[in-house]
Chain A
Amino acid sequence: MTDNDTIIIASPVHTAKDFASDQEPKWCPGCGDHAVLQQLKNVMPELDVAPENVVFVSGIGCSSRLPYYMATYGVHGIHGRALPMATGLKVSRPELSVWVATGDGDALSIGGNHFIHTLRRNPDLNVVLFNNEIYGLTKGQYSPTSKIGLRTITSPSGVIDQPFNTAALTIGSGGSFFARAFDRDGKYLRSILKRAALHKGTSLVEIYQNCPIFNNAAFEAFATPDKKADNTVYLEQSKPLVFGKDKNKGIRLDGFTPVVVDLDKEGLSTSDLWVHNEADINKASILARFADDRAQTEEVLPRPFGVFYAEERVTYEDALTDQIREAQKNGIATLEDLLKGESSYVIK
């Protein structure tokens, strides 16, 4: 796990149960959303934040129902617009812990403009992006992350749109934090959610989330025990990129090109491998491309999970607060000042 894990002291006051609302989740049985909800409830007590200071904001889609199931404050908004709603809330109330639940359609299609602009502004939001590569609530149309060739009700001959690469889009938009997790690996998901919560700035967590109804097994290659080890690499700060069932595979950088090497066969040690550095935007950009189907004909490179990139940068609300403080350094102007204005004149 990560270095930051040891810093947090679990709150003795709250438990996961305190964060469960009285509403019964209405997601399909077996939907990955249940697992994400559970981990959000689990992680909250570890964050030392009272339920009344937490707000979940969402747009429209299956995942956007999440705020109803958390016993915090919550607003279920309109399609695609969760990020600006959360930004407005955070800017006016910087002390709140503001979370956004969104999906691949909500965030990357109808809300695509808000997605890129929120990331570059960097308000301190925790964005949980449920990526199931499909539209669930409207019953099975392809989404902006659906793979080329996927046959759906609106792509009976297969998807022909190039899908978005969420990681590359986040980093390209000036995002300060990107991490990927998986709905089925609860413990790991929880650790990533905690990292995201502790990051000051917009933390984007992409969760591969299975839709058992309309896009079942989309992430099977990273899930089943026999395939998982060879198809995934888990990122750890300052650790070499090692993967495989026997931990005998690694990633080496050949110039800017990542290459899979077999440590045993090629007589290499882990010190020859790419060492993960969350602060390195160039390396993060290359990691983002691991998921890019354009870059490879087969799944040669393992899919990275964990924190790709984390940059400490001033948040939007802090920068604005600083400007206001500067403007008020000689005192807060009064209503009287306002009404009189700066160019009033007296008629005698």
Chain B
Amino acid sequence: MTDTNKSTRQVNVTSKTSVSVLFAGDSGDGMQLTGTQFANTVAVRGSELNTFPNFPSEIRAPAGTIAGVSGFQLQFSSKPVYTPGARFDVMVAMNSAALKANLKDLHRGGIIIAGTEGFDEKNLKLAGYPEGANPLEDGTLDNYIVFPVPVLQLTREALKESGLSSKEIDRCKNMFVLGLLYWLYTLPLEGTIETLQAKFQKNIQMAEANIKAMKAGYFFGDETELFANLGRFDIAPQKQHGTYRRVTGNEACAIALTAAAKKSGLELFLGSYPITPATEILQTLAKKKKYGVKTFQAEDEIAGIVSSIGAAYGGALAATNTSGPGLALKTEALGLAVILEVPLVVINVQRGGPSTGLPTKPEQSDLFMAMYGRHGEAPLPVIAARSPVDCFYTTYEAARIAVEHMTPVICLSDGYLALSSEPWKVESPDNLSDIKPRFQQARKPEDPPYLPYKRDDRQVRSWAIPGTKGLEHRIGGLEKQNETGNVSHDPENHELMTKLRAEKIARIADTIPLQSIDNGPLKGDLLVLGWGSSYGAIKTAVEQALEKGYRVAHAHLRYIHPFPKNLEEILGSFKQVLIPEMNSGQLIHLIRDTFLIAPVGYSKVQGVPFNEMEILAKITDLIKEI
């Protein structure tokens, strides 16, 4: 194997703390694979990492157009990172559309590595550049450091004796770029070589061609004079010792459901219908049969949740996953789960709405629907994940609450968390909290009759599953008499049951942890209160604000209904509260409504996550006013 760690020429290597890179090209250019490989390499080396893919909702959008641009952004660093970077430092643009679509997010003075074949007349026209204009030549990129590289030509030269067809050779061009980036950031090729060998186990010729293209890219960096002034970079890995894995939010949700089933001793049943961006949860669980997981791809969203309610009645850990339009279809069944009082985990991976909206873009606009989107009074717990790894802990917690409090729980994620990934230190089974189902034991004929809606001191009923002798009982969506569960239309009873169902949910506040301050002082001028995927942007912004000496703190809510018991006290410890949300202001309604205070809202409804610069600017403005 070529020793890629020793360069043939002396090129200056500069140390840096963090770098944000965007790989962008046409949907068919293999940018997701390239970005994933790069991410794996830096992760395995021990860097802190955060990744975010950005691709069109069309499977094959017209080649060369802005609509067809596919990107993979990542930030890797020597210190913890919580976002893929507000702006990127380096952009790989395989064609002119990729450049045009992403240039606004490149730091001024940033590096552009442009595949020159993607800037021919045809591609420039497809990208919508005016006739005769070429950004690589006309000076429009003077504020950036541009490296035009004939990627396709160099790949073809490298592989001309590979025996592959010209189409197959051209498809290796992403590996050339990957090799070049490995050179630029002094990264090893071995991990990707092993991956390619495993991936093309049955096609050695293809494996070798891809490896050769990658090495060609690496040596191109070494040999060309192009990068002589820039030099190379090193981002020293700092991660603590240990075993890690990289997970996306969707994978983490799937692992959490399986873990909760194992820990509780229940069987996992997922009734689901494919919907972007939630589908990977179903896909991941469909592959978990060796853990005994049962997945049911239903005919529609309604059958997805209702089959899960059936499984929950039968004693399974039942779950369903969906995104906004699907949650809308599930609302009637959610009401049924509320009145039946069966455990059910509903994962809603939010996307831009209303209606079909922005299927591949994140938004936090389903909070009201999660809280109130049912007819009648049907309260249920709502919790939200903050990061890809936190999708594991939040989903696990949703399962615990559902089983121990006999209620459906909505667990909110979003399209950003779903697809983003970060390293996760492998968790020990012992660190996971116990989940204890309260099954009702068999009843002897001489025992008093079984009362399905008799409650314990937390107002929770017991779980009597079919097959248990002496507990035969009938329940349903009709209002039921207190304790017996028999159908009742009695006015006073209905009011009592409505109150009991609400009180059961309210008392969950007794079992959840108190709210903590994530960063900053316990008292101060400004509290930034967030929920969901804006965690990384808020965390980074508050860190920077603290460095500036502002008396600002960050608290991030996992438990939205019910709120943690000390939240009012925390809110009262700051002169002002800022609530950034990727919606027109939904959490702010809940906070105002519950605590009768007047926080400041900060909305972004663009289908793209907040970045830390936006939040820092808002913090700075508010601090000046205080």
Contacts and interface: CB of A to CB of B under 8 A. Distances in A.
Contacts of A91: 269, 294, 296, 307, 311
A52 B465 CA distance: 9
A348 interface: yes
A217 interface: no
A335 B431 CA distance: 12
Contacts of A51: 472
Nearest to B477: A78
A113 B300 contact: yes
Given A51-B472, A87-B296, A347-B244, A327 B271 contact: no
B291 A84 contact: no
A73 B308 contact: no
Interface stretch (A269-277, A280-288, A338-346): A338-346
A77 B476 contact: yes
A333 B241 contact: no
A77 B332 CA distance: 10
B132 interface: no
B427 interface: yes
A344 B474 contact: no
Contact of A87 (B43, B310, B470, B472): B310
A341 B248 CA distance: 13
A345 B245 contact: yes
A248 to B, nearest CB: 47
Contacts of A81: 302-303, 306, 333
Interface in A301-348: 320, 323-324, 326-328, 332-336, 338-341, 343-348
Interface string B37-49: 0000001101000
A53 B311 contact: no
B466 A71 contact: no
Interface in A51-102: 51-58, 60, 67-68, 70-78, 81, 83-93, 95-96
A119 to B, nearest CB: 11
A84 B271 contact: yes
Main secondary structure of the interface of A (DSSP, over half): mixed
A21 interface: yes
Nearest to A115: B299
A92 B258 contact: no
B310 A74 contact: no
B552 interface: no
B336 A52 contact: no
A333 B243 contact: no
A67 B259 CA distance: 35
A126 to B, nearest CB: 15
Nearest to B286: A323
B250 to A, nearest CB: 14
Interface stretch (B13-21, B25-33, B314-322): B314-322
B104 interface: no
B311 A114 contact: no
A333 B486 contact: no
B426 A340 contact: yes
Contacts of B300: 113
Contacts, number: 201
Interface in B417-473: 426-429, 432, 465-473
Given A84-B271, A91-B294, A338-B255, A75 B486 contact: no
A75 B307 contact: no
A339 B429 contact: yes
A348 B242 CA distance: 7
Contacts of B469: 50, 52
A89 B333 contact: no
A85 B290 contact: no
B470 A52 contact: yes
Contacts of B269: 88, 91-92
A245 interface: no
A83 B263 CA distance: 30
A346 B46 CA distance: 9
A4 interface: no
A20 B178 CA distance: 72
A78 B271 contact: no
Given A73-B473, A81-B306, A346-B243, A68 B487 contact: yes
Given A84-B310, A85-B309, A324-B292, A340 B46 contact: no
Given A81-B333, A89-B311, A92-B311, A347 B240 contact: yes
B86 interface: no
B333 A78 contact: yes
B551 interface: no
B523 interface: no
Contact of B340 (A75, A113, A335, A339): A75
Contacts of A327: 289-290
A335 B259 contact: yes
B474 A75 contact: yes
Contact of A332 (B46, B291, B309, B478): B291
Contact of B314 (A60, A67, A96, A346): A96
B156 interface: no
Nearest to A58: B476
Given A335-B429, A344-B244, A88 B474 contact: no
A90 B427 CA distance: 34
A240 B292 CA distance: 49
A247 interface: no
A257 interface: no
B426 A93 contact: no
B245 A89 contact: no
24 contacts: A55-B314, A58-B476, A73-B466, A75-B474, A75-B475, A76-B474, A76-B477, A77-B306, A81-B302, A84-B271, A85-B309, A85-B310, A88-B296, A93-B466, A323-B289, A339-B426, A339-B429, A341-B245, A341-B247, A344-B243, A345-B43, A345-B44, A345-B243, A347-B44
Interface of A: 21, 23, 50-58, 60, 67-68, 70-78, 81, 83-93, 95-96, 113-114, 117, 320, 323-324, 326-328, 332-336, 338-341, 343-348
Given A60-B477, A84-B303, 17 more contacts: A52-B468, A56-B474, A76-B474, A76-B476, A85-B309, A85-B310, A88-B271, A88-B311, A91-B294, A93-B314, A93-B315, A113-B300, A328-B289, A340-B243, A345-B244, A346-B243, A348-B241
